[in-house]
Amino acid sequence: LKSKLPQVGTTIFTRMSGLAQTHNALNLSQGFPDFAPPEGLARALGEHAVQGHNQYAPMAGLPRLREAIAGQLALHRKVTVDPEEEITVVPGATEGIFCAITAVVEGGDEVIVLDPVYDSYEPAIALAGGRAVHVPLTAGSFAIDWDRVEEAISPKTKLFMLNSPHNPCGSVVSAADLDVLALLAEKHDFYVCSDEVYEHLVFDGRQHRSVLQHPVLKERSFAHFSFGKTLSVTGWKTGYCVAPPALTAELRKVHQYVAFVAVTPVQHALADFFEAQPRYPVKLASDYERRRDLFLSALSESRFSWTPTAGSFFQLLDFADISDESDTALSERWTREIGVASIPVSVFYENPPTQSVLRFCFAKSDDILLEAAERLCAI
Ligand code: PMP
Ligand code: GLN
């Protein structure tokens, strides 16, 4: 069989989590919390299943969950979104992003991605017959270099992939970034696929800027969110996509044949939760900021260098002063030998500028973060 994705193997997250398990290492590689979701959420899931909410939900998502999502967007982003025509509940942001790309990208289209780029975008672009055009983020600051973006735009540009807070860098876009993107999107007539799954994880007083808050971008964007991150339930694989009615209609045409619906009792449990605790996400940033600071202060005697991450639950550490090995080799060796698993960042680039940076997930309990830091300090 001729592979349709010849460059693709098993994801780095699956490989590193597998290696961590084999060697019984502390797993700071794949991004998921090791702590329990908010009180009552798991119980509600069980109760809805017992009560008989076990058959297909409506294709676009349970109306009561879409209402709750519209409430969340009004409360946290001050935007008005129509739950009927602009919100689609999806079985994970990964599926929502796949459906958005599939809905708009045709054979020969180009899609701009910013390196380092989250791993699921390019295979989806390729399967749609498109081509990813890679533009690197500015080394060091991970800011978007808009001059380079404009150079990369061509008459074939159909879509721009935005990710803020960014995985793996943790950088967050500014209001000025969104203004420039809006100008370019209008001038060159392309759509935006905005991955905002870490929207509530922004630190040091920063604000998350959603494309939904920008009047021009809101009209040409798919914005993707994930309950997995916000409620510490990555295994529940439920998120949502917000887009204007015409884009939502096209997204749903794909979604109805990829997954058809998201899981029914999960949607009920999520709706219960947000009806009862609409302000819960406000606390998230300070909780994660504390974990980031705990991890970094425990690393203060180490030989790594870093900039505290601005958002997401990932911290990059540069090991150039410790080893000449490649990040890929070192992440595997440290998983085996010191029992701390991480993700090599070079795998997210078309042309990696360095191979000396590892990504560590700090969505972990304090004792795990402290133990990992102690092992990393001893290198
Ligand atoms: N985008 C980014 C940047 C992510 O880190 C993740 C995380 N897993 C996803 C999308 C996918 O989210 P989900 O688990 O809801 O599919
Ligand atoms: N988004 C998660 C990460 O960045 C992984 C999700 C996955 O394994 N696909 O680690």
Residues 271-292 have pLDDT tens digits of: 999 999 999 999 999 999 999 9
Q: Quick one: 182 exposed, middle or buried, by C-beta within 10 A (0-12, 13-18, 19+)?
A: buried
Q: Which of 21, 27, 32 to mutate to test the pocket of ligand 2 (most atoms within 8 A of CB)?
A: 32
Supply the DSSP symbol for 305: B
CA-proximal residue: ligand 2, atom 2 (nearest): 31
pLDDT of the residue at 44: 98
CB of residue 29 inside a 6 A radius of ligand 2: no
Query: What are the tens digits of pLDDT across the range 73-89?
Result: 999 999 999 999 999 99
| pLDDT above 70: percentage of residues in the chain | 100
- Tokens, residue 216: 């021009």
For residues 201 and 92, give the distance between their C-alpha atoms in angstroms, rounded to a whole number: 18
CB of residue 92 inside a 6 A radius of ligand 1: yes
* Nearest ligand (C-alpha, residue 224): 1
| pLDDT above 90: percentage of residues in the chain | 100
- Tokens, residue 283: 């606390």
pLDDT of the residue at 212: 98
Between the CA of 31 and the centroid of ligand 2 the distance, in Å, is 5
Specify the pairing of strand 157-163 against strand 110-115: parallel
pLDDT of the residue at 294: 98
Q: Are 315 and 299 in contact (CB under 8 A)?
A: no
Measured from the Cβ of residue 152, the count of other Cβ atoms closer than 10 Å reads: 17
- Tokens, residue 264: 């029914």
Q: Please work out, in degrees rounded to the nearest 5, the angle formed at the alpha carbon of residue 147 by the alpha carbons of 146 and 152.
A: 90
Q: Are 166 and 196 in contact (CB under 8 A)?
A: no
Atom of ligand 1 nearest to the CA of 227: 15
Average pLDDT over residues 170-180: 98
* Nearest ligand (C-alpha, residue 199): 1
pLDDT of the residue at 69: 98
Domains of the chain with bracketed CATH: 12-30+282-377 (3.90.1150.10), 41-278 (3.40.640.10)
pLDDT of the residue at 3: 97
- Tokens, residue 173: 């876009």
CA-proximal residue: ligand 1, atom 12 (nearest): 93
Angstrom distances, CA of residue 98 to CA of 104, 129, 166, 195 = 10, 13, 18, 11
Query: What are the tens digits of pLDDT across the range 101-160?
Result: 999 999 999 999 999 999 999 999 999 999 999 999 999 999 999 999 999 999 999 999
* Closest by CA position to 294, among listed 197, 363, 344: 363
What predicted TM-score, i.e. pTM, was given to this entire model?
0.98
Task: Convert 247-266 to b/e letters by CB count within 10 Å (16 or more is b).
Answer: bbebbbebbeeebebbbbbb
pLDDT of the residue at 314: 98
For residue 246, name the pLDDT band (cuts at 50, 70, 90).
very high
